[in-house]
Structure 1
Amino acid sequence: MQRESLVHRCTVALLIVSASICSAQSAPTIAVAPQYDTTHVYVAPENVDAFVKAFLGTFGGTSTKQVVATVTPTPSSTTSQLLQTPVGTVSLFAFKTPVPYPFGAERTGYLVSDFDAAIAAAKSTGADVLVDSFPDPIGRDAVIQWPGGVNTQLYWHFKTPSYQPFQMVPENRVYLSSVRVAEFLQSFLAFSHGKVVSDDPHAAGVEIGRAGETFRRIRVESLFGKLTVLMTDGHLPYPYGRELTGYEVVSLTDTLAKAKSLGVGIIVQPYTSDGRRAAMVEFPGGYIAEVHEIIR
C-alpha cells in the first residue's frame, strides 16, 4: 500500500513525538472522561424504536427519555435521546425536518470542562470551527474539524452530568490519508493531551478488508477515550470507512448472537488480527459499527 520515503517517514515520526511532548504546553486540559463522550447517530424517525431495541439489546444499558428539541443554531426539530451502555454511549437523533449543514457529518460529541477554553484550544492547535458557539436546551455547543476533515461536536452543560465509567472504553475510528495524518495527530494530541500507544506501519490489511496487504495503524489514548487512526490510500471495500466506533465486548460470539436475534446484520464476519477478534455489524437504521473482543 503506502510506500513513504525515508525522509517523509522520519518527518511524520518527529511531528508525532513533538506533538506528544509539547501537548501539555500547547493547550489546557479540558477533557472530562471517556464516559461523557458519545457517538452521534442519525436515523430516520421510523427507525428509532428498532435501533434503540437492537443497540441496548446487544450491549445492555438504558436510554434517557426521548425529547423533541432544536439542537442546531438554525430552526430544526429532532427527537433526541442518550443510549448509555457499559461499552459506549450514543447520542441518537431522528430529525423531523431537513438536517441543517454540517450536522449529521460529525462523528462524536466531546464534553469539555471549559467551553471557551476548548474553542480557543481547538483553534490554536490547528482545528477549524465549522459551527461557532451556540446554545442548546441544556448548554452550549460547537462543531470543529480536525485536519483531514474529521468533524467533532464540542459541548458543555449548565449542570455537570454524572455518569458511570465504561466497563470497556470504545474507540473512535478515523480514516486518513498519508498526506494529512501527521497534521491530524499533531492537532489532536495537542488538544487532547493524548499519547500514541502504538504505531504499526505494517498492520494486517484484513482489518480494512484487504487481506494479504498492509497499512499503517496508530492507536491514541487520552481523557477523551481511545482513538484509532487508519491510514489508507482510500481504496476501501464496503463497509470499511463507514464505521464510526469500535466497541470492545467480553465475548464476540455471544454479542453477535444477541445482535443477530435483534435484527442486526453481520456485514463482516469475524476475523483475528493484532490480538483481537473482530467483526462489523449494521444496526436498524443503517448505523455501522466495529465490535471486537481482546484475545487474552
Structure 2
Amino acid sequence: MRTFTLFAAAAIAFAPAAFAHTQDFSVGAQYDSTHVYVAPQDVDAFVSSFVATFGGQSTKQVVATVTPTPSSTTSQLVQTPVGIVSVFGFRTPVPYPFGQERTGYLVTNVDEAVKAANAVGGATLVAPFDDPIGRDAVVAWPGGVNMQLYSHTKTPDYKPLEHVPENRVYVPVQAADAFVKAWLAFSHGKVESDDKAVPATEIGAKQGTYRRVRITSGYGRLTLFVTNGHLTWPYGSELTGYEVGDLDATLDRARQAGAKVVVDTHAEGGRRSAMVQFPGGYVAEIHADAK
C-alpha cells in the first residue's frame, strides 16, 4: 500500500479500510482522454484546428455504436503531445447520460475498478458494457462529476506525453471534501496543494475567493475548483487544461486555425493562462509556467 502525504492546511479525514480494500487500476496519463461531443458537420473543423494548435494526429474516423443502447456516432482519437481527446459526432440523439461524462480513463479492469469506485463513494451511472474495441462504464463522483472508465481488448501502447494535462473539475462547497476523499482513495493520488482562499479574479469574478485543490495520480493531474457557482462564461465549461511550453505561440496557432481566444492571457496560480474555444464549441484552458 502506498504512503499518502497531504499538503492541505487541514487534514482530510479518510477511512483506512477504503485503502486496504482497493487497488490502483490506472495505466498512465497518456491513455486518458477528454470526451469532446460536437455536431457531425463540425468534427473535421474541430480536429483540424486542435491538431494545428497542439500538434499530433488523429486516428481514422469510424462510425460506431459506443453506448450500451442503440446509437450511431463518428468516433476518432486525436493524440497530441499535451493530451488526447476522443471526438464524437453523434448522428442520432445521444442516449442519457452520455455527453455528460468529461473524461475517459484507461484502467486495467473495468469491472473491478467500478467496484473499487463504489467502495469509496463513487456511484455507477452506467454499468459496465462492451463496445467495439473494449469495455466501458461511467462513474459519478460526489459533486456530480462523471467520468468514464474503459479498457481495450487489445492493449494500446502510447508514448508518454510531453506535458500532462489537468482535469478541471468544478464542485460546490458542500461536496468538495467528499469528492477529494473519494478520488484520492480510488486514484491512489496525493494532494499537491490545497489553497483555501484563492482570489476569485483568477476565474473571472470581480471579487471574493475560492478554494483550489490540485491532485496528482496515475490518472494524471486534477484541479478542483470549489466555488459558489457564480461563474462567468466560459469558466466551468472547460473540461481540461493543457500545459504548453510557449503560451503565446500556441494561442497564435489556435487563432490561425480558426479557434477563438475567449479569455485573454492572465495570471492563475503561478501560471499564465488563457481560454480558447475551438470550432464546434469545445472550450479548453491553456497555460504555461509563469516562470
Same structural fold, with TM-score higher than 0.5 when normalized by the shorter chain: yes
Equivalent residue in structure 1 for 2:259, among 250, 260, 264: 264
Q: 1:18 Cα deviation (Å)?
A: 2.8
Query: Residue type of the partner of 1:166?
Result: L
Q: 1:141 Cα deviation (Å)?
A: 0.4
Query: Residue type of the partner of 1:132?
Result: A
Is residue 2:205 matched to residue 1:202?
no
Q: 1:270 Cα deviation (Å)?
A: 0.5
Name the SS for the 1:48 alignment partner.
helix
Equivalent residue in structure 1 for 2:233, among 232, 235, 238: 238
The TM-score normalised by the length of structure 2 is 0.94
Is residue 2:62 matched to residue 1:67?
yes
Name the SS for the 2:251 alignment partner.
helix
* 1:1-296 equivalence runs, <5 A: 13-14=10-11, 16=12, 18=14, 24-296=19-291
Query: Residue type of the partner of 2:286?
Result: V
Name the SS for the 1:180 alignment partner.
helix
Structure 2 Cα separation of the partners of residues 87 and 276 of structure 1: 16
Q: 1:114 Cα deviation (Å)?
A: 1.6
Verify the 8 A CA contact 1:275 1:295 in the aligned structure 2.
Answer: yes
Q: 1:13 Cα deviation (Å)?
A: 3.5
Q: 1:212 Cα deviation (Å)?
A: 4.0
More helix by share: 1
Structure 1 Cα separation of the partners of residues 166 and 184 of structure 2: 15
Q: 1:195 Cα deviation (Å)?
A: 0.6
Structure 1 Cα separation of the partners of residues 18 and 240 of structure 2: 25
Verify the 8 A CA contact 2:33 2:105 in the aligned structure 1.
Answer: yes
Structure 2 Cα separation of the partners of residues 64 and 85 of structure 1: 11
Q: 1:272 Cα deviation (Å)?
A: 1.3
Query: Residue type of the partner of 2:238?
Result: E
Please give the root-mean-square deviation of Cα atoms over the aligned residues, in Å: 1.5
Verify the 8 A CA contact 1:204 1:273 in the aligned structure 2.
Answer: no
Query: Residue type of the partner of 1:237?
Result: T
**Aligned residues between the structures:** 284
Structure 2 Cα separation of the partners of residues 215 and 239 of structure 1: 17
Query: Residue type of the partner of 2:129?
Result: F
Verify the 8 A CA contact 2:18 2:120 in the aligned structure 1.
Answer: no
Structure 1 Cα separation of the partners of residues 205 and 52 of structure 2: 31
Query: Residue type of the partner of 1:180?
Result: A
Structure 2 Cα separation of the partners of residues 22 and 257 of structure 1: 50
Q: Cα deviations across residues 213-233 of structure 1 (Å, max 9, x unaligned)?
A: 321100000000000000000
Query: Residue type of the partner of 2:191?
Result: V
Structure 2 Cα separation of the partners of residues 25 and 211 of structure 1: 45
Structure 2 Cα separation of the partners of residues 259 and 273 of structure 1: 20
Structure 2 Cα separation of the partners of residues 227 and 220 of structure 1: 5
State the identity as a percent: 58
Verify the 8 A CA contact 1:195 1:220 in the aligned structure 2.
Answer: yes
Structure 2 Cα separation of the partners of residues 100 and 261 of structure 1: 35
Q: Cα deviations across residues 189-237 of structure 1 (Å, max 9, x unaligned)?
A: 1000011000111112122101443211000000000000000000001
Verify the 8 A CA contact 2:38 2:280 in the aligned structure 1.
Answer: yes
Q: 1:140 Cα deviation (Å)?
A: 0.5
Gaps of 5+ in 2: 1-8
Structure 1 Cα separation of the partners of residues 52 and 172 of structure 2: 36
Name the SS for the 2:174 alignment partner.
coil
Q: Cα deviations across residues 52-84 of structure 1 (Å, max 9, x unaligned)?
A: 110000000010111100000000000000000
Query: Residue type of the partner of 2:109?
Result: D
Verify the 8 A CA contact 1:26 1:191 in the aligned structure 2.
Answer: no
Q: 1:17 Cα deviation (Å)?
A: 5.3
Q: 1:17 to 1:293 in 2, by over 3 A?
A: farther
Name the SS for the 1:18 alignment partner.
coil
Verify the 8 A CA contact 1:26 1:125 in the aligned structure 2.
Answer: no
Structure 2 Cα separation of the partners of residues 191 and 13 of structure 1: 21
Structure 2 Cα separation of the partners of residues 76 and 166 of structure 1: 32
